[in-house]
Structure 1
Amino acid sequence: MATVRPPPQIGAAVPVELQLERLAASLPVVSLGPAADSECEIWAVLGGAQPGSSIKDLLAMGLLTLAREAGALAPGQALIESTSGSMGVGLAWAARCLGHPLTLVSDPHIPALTRMKIEAHGATLITVDAPHPRGGWQQARAERVRALLAARPELYFVEQNHSPFNPGAHARWLVPALARRVDPATIDAAVFVVGSGGHFSALSRWLVEANPSCRCFAAERPGSRTFGAPRPGTSVLRGVGNSDIVPGVIARAFERVSGVVNVPDAHSLAACRRLLEAHNLLVGPTSGLAYVAATALAQRLRRGVVLTLFPDRGELYAPLLTEAPKDVPLRRWREGSGPWVSTDAPATRPQTQARPSPPRRVNPGRTPR
């Protein structure tokens, strides 16, 4: 008779380290098969398989744990952070688990379900009234955080955009979990959505150190300042790109950015519909962006494997996704008609980088372990 293991315990009684290991181990790695017009396969880490439906749960718990271990965050100390949504949910959950009061600053466009999740975990949510005239909602939120910090200097500013604990959390818990299922030697290229750049920083370091021929790309929306967009622009996507800053986390990882894949919003939203129809995956728009970017790279490589990560699930964005265009094909795009791949270094880095070397030929039939 087969031995049946009891289900894992959850809750405050479980040591934090064990909770983090379980969060990372719960993330599936799936093959989406070859990209359109290519024999190159796309593998995706499903970051939405978390309690709050995004990879930010693991990040939030890990970041706060590292800050406590380093002595930067005292037990019970109150927290403050700016958020566009998913990180706020992750922080609200982690702060409640660890016993930290939390204040979050967001904007009126935060999804209603996100607000409900944050408040259900006991966090205080403050929304700014108007965008900054030049830096948009992101800068308006940052200025409100600075004002609150000036009035309450005892607050701990999580500051995911610049904190070394951000990539540190992914390196300590996410990388070992993926390394048990993905051999970096089998990955020809990787592309990750960049907001703060935390998971790009940790995963690109792991991949490149283990496989120097692997090239790592950033998936970006047009109009973001992160990689030096010539003209600022708005987007319906949340949690990707930056309107007012270049986060220190991604700036410190620029040497591993082989290029940037810029994806228009319409293509990101259409990709969400494609993933639902073809793979039964309900994901958010940033995951759609990652899929389009991975497809564009796979079409350039022709053979091999491209690794990406889908940051979240799609239930938060149901109204947006139901209105997504149906007539944007995931075929090979003409230059200027869809995503475009830049293989130059980011504009905010002084030196340039050569184009990636041709991919190694590999068996396209492999699947993740």
Structure 2
Amino acid sequence: MRMTTYHTIEDIIGSTPLVRLQRLPGEAGAARGNVILAKLEGNNPAGSVKDRPAFAMIREAEARGEIQPGDTLIEATSGNTGIALAMAAAVRGYKMILIMPDNLSVERRASMTAYGAQLILTPADQGGMEYARDLAARMQAEGKGKVLDQFGNSDNPLAHLQGTGPEIWEQTNGRVTHFVSAMGTTGTIMGVSQYLKSRNPAIQVVGAQPAEGSQIPGIRKWPEEYLPRIYDPQRVDAFESISQSEAEEMARRLAAEEGIFGGISSAGALVAALRVAQRVENATIVFIVCDRGDRYLSTGVFN
């Protein structure tokens, strides 16, 4: 008898759907010849775009001989990378310590511990993610584990250079003219930009950043000393500042009017995509829905 080979959970990461928005574009859509497409990364097994770099960082570190199953991994996270790494660690046999500011949603905390990770909460009023990143570095220096460092690890954008970017190119048959993404670690926008511009340098890459005073999970504007080392400003053509109220309102509209239940940073990217659509004609605009809205229910955003 012939052996049947079945997929593992790791095998089904990626190849996420790309769907057309029908109502939200309004006059910025078909009337101007524009198409706005949502890349549904919440369809990954741990629920976000971060599944891609999480497995990539572990696989590549193993290949270099830097880690092996049974080791302890450490990462500072605002949520999605931590959940993805917790899943990847469970699959590949690692202990996982995640460090996260204490003002982030309880759904994120519960998801991390469900996968078996140890969670350390840091006081948001003492520096938030910057504090968490510093603590992770200290713990590594004390020999408590290996920091994968999503902010400085080239395997983060590599996952999108090899996966997300080619998928968008193929799914649009090379017609994509604009790519829009929230900017956090910047891994997604860096890797996708590098791939798409290698196929067509005219493609415009737009980054969504928080407006002054806004706090949007997954969208950050880092102080200079904490700017991710993987970030290359030459790969982003333009920026859109998104307010917290705009992102939250758009998250509700995206679910209620398009049936796409995405997170707040996903909605921020859509706000940016719609602004682009108001300025251009005959464009194919792709934005990333980086996670699912059920990760934010306890925040009251969808009430």
Scaled by the length of structure 2, what TM-score is found? 0.90
Q: Secondary structure at the match of 1:321?
A: coil
Equivalent in the alignment of 1:207: 196
- Return the alpha-carbon distance in structure 1 between the equivalents of residues 26 and 158 of structure 2: 35
Q: Is the 8 A contact 1:66 1:169 kept in 2?
A: no
- Return the alpha-carbon distance in structure 2 between the equivalents of residues 87 and 159 of structure 1: 11
- Return the alpha-carbon distance in structure 2 between the equivalents of residues 290 and 72 of structure 1: 35
The CA deviation string for residues 150-183 of structure 1, in whole angstroms up to 9 with x for no partner, is: 2226x21111011101011222233343343223
Q: How far did residue 115 of structure 1 move?
A: 1.2
- Return the alpha-carbon distance in structure 1 between the equivalents of residues 137 and 237 of structure 2: 34
Give the unaligned 5+ runs of structure 2. Answer: none
- Return the alpha-carbon distance in structure 2 between the equivalents of residues 218 and 199 of structure 1: 10
Change (3 A) 1:129 1:197: closer
1:47 partner amino acid: E
Equivalent in the alignment of 1:46: 40
Q: How far did residue 130 of structure 1 move?
A: 4.9
Equivalent in the alignment of 2:109: 115
Say if 2:87 is the partner of 1:97.
Answer: no
- Return the alpha-carbon distance in structure 1 between the equivalents of residues 116 and 284 of structure 2: 43
The CA deviation string for residues 229-262 of structure 1, in whole angstroms up to 9 with x for no partner, is: xxxx351x21211444211112x2x112111011
Q: How many residues align?
A: 292
RCO higher in structure (CA 8 A, sep ≥6)? 2
Higher helix share: 2
Say if 2:17 is the partner of 1:32.
Answer: no
Q: Secondary structure at the match of 1:24?
A: coil
Say if 2:62 is the partner of 1:81.
Answer: no
- Return the alpha-carbon distance in structure 1 between the equivalents of residues 6 and 273 of structure 2: 35
- Return the alpha-carbon distance in structure 2 between the equivalents of residues 242 and 309 of structure 1: 18
The CA deviation string for residues 56-114 of structure 1, in whole angstroms up to 9 with x for no partner, is: 12221122112222333333321001011111100000011111111111121121121
Q: Secondary structure at the match of 2:21?
A: strand
> RMSD of the alignment, in Å?
2.0
The CA deviation string for residues 6-42 of structure 1, in whole angstroms up to 9 with x for no partner, is: 995435xxxx5xx1xx3112x1001114823222210
Larger Rg: 1
Change (3 A) 1:28 1:138: same
2:146 partner amino acid: Y
- Return the alpha-carbon distance in structure 1 between the equivalents of residues 61 and 274 of structure 2: 37
Q: How far did residue 199 of structure 1 move?
A: 1.2
- Return the alpha-carbon distance in structure 2 between the equivalents of residues 127 and 221 of structure 1: 23
2:128 partner amino acid: W
Equivalent in the alignment of 2:271: 292
Identical-pair percentage: 25
Which of 7, 10, 17 in structure 1 is aligned with 2:8?
A: 10
**Superposition pairs of residues 256-267 of structure 1, within 5 angstroms:** 256-267=235-246
- Return the alpha-carbon distance in structure 2 between the equivalents of residues 127 and 29 of structure 1: 35
Say if 2:227 is the partner of 1:246.
Answer: yes
Give the unaligned 5+ runs of structure 1. Answer: 1-5, 224-232, 324-369
Q: Is the 8 A contact 1:298 1:305 kept in 2?
A: no
- Return the alpha-carbon distance in structure 2 between the equivalents of residues 142 and 213 of structure 1: 36
